[in-house]
Amino acid sequence: MNRRQFFGATGGCGCNFFFQAGQGGRGQAPLGAEAFENVGTKVRITGIKTFGVTLPVAEQRDRPYTFVKIETNQGVVGWGEGTLEGKAAATIHCIEDFKEFLIGADPMLVEHHWQSMYVHSFYRAGPVIGSAMAAIDQALWDIRGKILNMPVYQMLGGAYDPEGVRGYYHVRASTPVEMREVRAKAKELGVTAIKGGIPGYYEWIETRESIRRAVKSVETLRANLGDEIDIGIDFHAKTSPSVASILCKEMEPLKLMFIEEPCPPENVRAMQRIAARSKVPIATGERLVAAYNCRELIELGIIDILQTDINHVGGITALWKAAALAEISGVRMAPHACEGPIGGMATLHVDAAMPNFMVQEICSGVVAGEKEKIWQEWFGFPAMRMVNGKFPLPTKPGLGFELREQDVAKFKFAGTRAMARVFHADGSVAAW
C-alpha cells in the first residue's frame, strides 16, 4: 500500500501503522524492503559487526572508538564510525537495535535506510541515535563507492581541490617558547591554521581579572604564532552569553578565524545576542544532530561557520545535507572531528565536494602522537595527517582504505568512560 492508498484507507487516522516496527526477522528482508525489489540491486546486507576499541592513550580516555563493519552477500564490506564521547556502550547497543532495519536489505539504498532509522525511531535523534546512524551510514557509503568503483567524494559531485582539503591542528602549547615551536613546525608542514582555547572555567558573571586572563592567553597565542597563521579559539560553551559577549568584543583586534561555541548551541537566542554584539565570526555545531537541528541557527543568520561532526550528526548523508542548508545561506563549513580516524577520513570526502567548505579540524597536534602511530599501523598510511597544509584525498573506491578486524580487535573495549566533570569553588556544576 502506498502513502496515498494508506491515508485513504485509514481516513487520515494513523492509529496502528507504527506497531509493526519490531516484526522484521533477521533472517529475512526488513519491513519495507519489498517495495525496492525491482529497482534496487541484488546485493544484500548479511551482517553488521560492532567494535568497541580502547586505545592505551591518555587523550582518548573518554572516547573509546565505536567502529562498524557491514558485510554483504557479494563479499563487499563497508566500515563506519560512531564514536560518542562519554556514551560508548549506549551507542554500541543502539547500533545493535538497528540491525533489524538492515539485515537482508539492499545497502545501496542509503537515503532510505537513513530515513527509516531516523523516522522509525519515533523520538527524534539525539547524540546516541545520531552516532549509531552515523556509523551505519558511513559504512553504507563505503559499500556504495566500492560497488560503483568510485571514491565517495566523486559520487557527491567531485573534488573542488585535487590537492586535498585544508585543515588545522590543535595548538598544544602553554608557553611562548612552545608556541613558537608550533609556529616553526606549522610553517615546515605548510599548515596555515591552528586552534586553541581559553583557560579555566567561567561563572555566569565573571571578574575583570578572569576576563583579562582569558584575553591575555589569546593575545599571547597570536603574538607567538604570528599573523600568517589563522587562529580559531574554542570557548567550548564554558561561557555565559554575558561573559562571551565581553570576550568576543575584546578579542576583535586579534583578527581571529572564528570563536567556537561561545555558549551552548541549543540556546539559539543567546547565541544570537552574542553574534549581534561582535564582529568576530561565530562557529558552532559539533553537538548538533541531523540537518534539522542546524536550521534555526542558519536561517536566523546567527552563525558564520557550521561545525557539525560526521560521527554525531548522522553520517555522510546528514553532513552533506547540513552543508547544503548552510551553503544557500552563505554559511561556511568547518566540520568538527575529535574522535577516531574512520569518521575523520569519511569527513574529507564530504569536505572535498562542498562548495562552501572552509577548513577541517583534527584533534591532533602538529607533531604526530601515539594515537596517530596506531592509525598508521591500521591503515598503512598516515591517516588524517596533512601534506602542505591539506589532508590528501584517497583515490581508492569507497572511503579509500582497507581495515582488518584483527588489527582493531587487539585494543579491547574497556567500557564507557565519562567525560570531564568539573565544578566551581562553591560546588556548582561548571561547563567545560
Which positions are catalytic? 236, 336
Residue 391 contacts residue 165 (beta carbons within 8 Å): yes
Looking at residue 178, its amino acid is E
Which are the contacts of 298, defined by CB distance < 8 A and separation ≥ 6? 306, 325, 326, 329, 331
d(CA 303, CA 297): 6
Angle at 216 between CA 213 and CA 221, to 5 degrees: 130
d(CA 44, CA 147): 12
d(CA 78, CA 336): 22
Q: Helix, strand, coil proportions of the chain in percent (round to 5)? A: 40, 15, 45
Computed on alpha carbons and rounded to an integer, the radius of gyration of the chain in Å comes to 22
Residue 427, classed as helix, strand or coil, is: coil
Q: What is the maximal distance between C-alpha atoms in the chain? A: 74
Residue tagged 609556529 (cell numbers): 183
d(CA 287, CA 218): 24
Residue 64 contacts residue 414 (beta carbons within 8 Å): yes
CA–centroid distance for 247 within its chain: 27
Indicate the burial class of 290 (C-beta count within 10 angstroms; 0-12, 13-18, 19 or more): buried
Residue 66 contacts residue 131 (beta carbons within 8 Å): yes
Q: Read off the C-alpha cell for 369.
A: 602522537
Q: Read off the C-alpha cell for 333.
A: 563549513
Closest CA to 232 of 72, 118, 97, 363: 363
> Residues 101, 107, 108, 110: is their CA dihedral positive or negative?
positive
d(CA 335, CA 348): 9
